[in-house]
Amino acid sequence: MAQKMLQKILIVGNGGREYSIGLRLKKDAQKNRSKDNENLTLFFAPGNAGTKHLGINVALSKNQDLVAFCQKEQIDFVIIGPEAPLVEGLSDELREQGFCVFGPSQKAAQLEGSKAFMKDFVSRHNIPTARYIQTSDKAKAIDFALSLPLPVVIKASGLCAGKGVIIAQTYDEVKQTICDMLSGESFGDSGKCVVIEEFLSGYELSVFGICDGKDFVLLPPCQDHKQLYNNDKGPNTGGMGAYAPTPLCDEALLQDIADLIFEPTLRGMAQEGNPFCGVLFAGIMVVQENNQKKPYLLEFNVRFGDPECEVLMPLLQTPLLEICKAVESQTIKQLPIQFAKEYCVGVVLASHNYPFGHSTPYPITIQSYDENLGEVVFGGVSEDKQGRLLASGGRVMLAVGYAKSLPQARENAYKILEAIEFEGRIYRDDIANKAL
């Protein structure tokens, strides 16, 4: 009798992104589109109260504990969700022990871990990006900043959980921000080297490439909604909603993004001995120049974006595990990755004081909803002693709608959202409006 293949997958992380990756793998297995997915067991480290229903949560976060867990459980594949373990070298430690990993090496992860590394890399390879300097010298930073028109963009070089970018509106604010960052006051050591850059005016896109070190395949282009309130008002957040594919990126623009940004990046990283394997996120500003749209690179992330991942996973038709394996075996070009001819809209439900601090955990109720409209994704959720689901802070959940048209997908997302209740929930009601 042929033996069934047992697949044990470990997903590192605890947010909506990791939930949606797990849900994709489960759905692939149910559809039985991939033999590899038979007898799938998912582990999440540490996961959340939602991922518990997709697999087994393990309360581990240190690299050495994760490696030991993989050895003990004989894990077949590890998918690393967030940037911090990548920047700390988890992929390398796992690969050294012979594990298959979806996630770039520590050196390649510098594209996100150090804005200074990223800016120097892209300027060495003539990738379009805002004019900048990077320095730890206060006088140099201020001199360059004062030479730019207002507003001026000031970035802490190290990882700051998406908060290390200040757009200063006056030269007084410019000087104060530079002093606060370089003294370590605002972002600790992450701000002791700063990147000062010119402000680019246009609209933003999130474009993801699945990269195997030499080749890449772009996923449907997305748009995130970073500000807390409608019409892009209020403080920056990790993202309050996303949708894909966005009609604001046509074929020609996507091809330019491939040619001007992804191709030279993959080539340059390989040439410099740091081939990029995993998913590369390019934050793009589309600037109108001489009646043409030109993409400029704002930032790289070395992982799926959150909430972009949650709207990309439902569009994937090729089993996710096959994609991860093609990255590991450097055969991404041979894999015809297919996407549903649909649109997907995800609306974040956050706790009342997101993004400023922690909230009292409030119980969540979810009324039944039509599962043909979309799905619910769990992020900042926990459980009380009775097993009741609680909104434990931050970005709690996502209502994800899909449909053949963008307006319908949007409507479906908001219908699902209406089924979710918890005290103090906040959300934007204009997700995807820019495209309609």
Neighbours of 123 (CB within 10 A): 13
Binding of residue 18 to ligand GLY (CB under 6 A)? no
Residue number with CB closer to ligand AMP (90 or 152) = 152
Residue 289, phi then psi, degrees to nearest 5: -130, 125
Binding of residue 46 to ligand AMP (CB under 6 A)? no
Binding of residue 112 to ligand GLY (CB under 6 A)? no
Closest residue to ligand AMP using C-beta atoms:
299
Task: Count CA atoms closer than 13 A to 141's CA, side-chain side.
Answer: 27
Binding site partner of 305, from ligand AMP, ligand GLY, none, Cβ cut-off 5-8 A by kind: ligand GLY
Binding of residue 301 to ligand GLY (CB under 6 A)? yes
Binding of residue 306 to ligand GLY (CB under 6 A)? yes
Task: Count CA atoms closer than 13 A to 188's CA, side-chain side.
Answer: 5
Q: What are 180's two structure tokens?
A: 């606060």
Binding of residue 419 to ligand AMP (CB under 6 A)? no
Residue number with CB closer to ligand GLY (238 or 394) = 238
Q: What angle do CA 374, 379, 383 make, to 5 degrees?
A: 110
Q: Is 245 exposed, middle or buried (0-12, 13-18, 19+ CB in 10 A)?
A: buried
Q: What are 38's two structure tokens?
A: 């038979």
- From candidates 49, 122, 200, 313, binder to ligand AMP by CB under 6 A: 200
Binding of residue 92 to ligand GLY (CB under 6 A)? no
The site string for ligand AMP over 3-22 (x = CB under 6 A, - otherwise) reads --------------------
Return all residues near 62 (Cβ < 8 A) that are at least 6 apart: none
AA letter at 54: L
The site string for ligand AMP over 259-288 (x = CB under 6 A, - otherwise) reads ------------------------x-x---
Stretch that binds ligand GLY, among 302-310, 339-347, 381-389, 424-432 (CB under 6 A): 302-310
- From candidates 76, 212, 224, 256, binder to ligand GLY by CB under 6 A: 224
Distance CA 270, CA 12 (A): 26
Residue number with CB closer to ligand AMP (232 or 383) = 232
Neighbours of 37 (CB within 10 A): 22
Binding site partner of 212, from ligand GLY, ligand AMP, none, Cβ cut-off 5-8 A by kind: none
Number of residues engaging ligand AMP in binding (CB under 6 A): 13
**Least spacing, CB of residue 236 vs ligand AMP, in Å:** 6
Neighbours of 422 (CB within 10 A): 21
Stretch that binds ligand GLY, among 144-152, 190-198, 209-217, 299-307 (CB under 6 A): 299-307
Neighbours of 369 (CB within 10 A): 18
- From candidates 16, 47, 209, 305, binder to ligand GLY by CB under 6 A: 305
Binding site partner of 58, from ligand AMP, ligand GLY, none, Cβ cut-off 5-8 A by kind: none
**Least spacing, CB of residue 2 vs ligand AMP, in Å:** 49
**Least spacing, CB of residue 228 vs ligand AMP, in Å:** 13
**Least spacing, CB of residue 184 vs ligand GLY, in Å:** 23
- From candidates 73, 88, 173, 204, binder to ligand AMP by CB under 6 A: 204
Nearest to residue 11, comparing CAs of 51, 49, 53, 39?
A: 51
- From candidates 171, 199, 229, 414, binder to ligand AMP by CB under 6 A: 199
Residues 126-145 contacting ligand AMP, CB under 6 A: 130
CA 317 to each of CA 249, 322, 342: distance values in angstroms, whole numbers, following the listed order: 21, 11, 11
The site string for ligand AMP over 215-234 (x = CB under 6 A, - otherwise) reads -----------x--------
Q: Write out the residues near ligand AMP by the rule CB under 6 A.
A: 130, 153, 155, 165, 197, 199-200, 204, 226, 283, 285, 298-299
Q: Write out the residues near ligand GLY by the rule CB under 6 A.
A: 162, 224, 238-239, 301, 305-306, 308
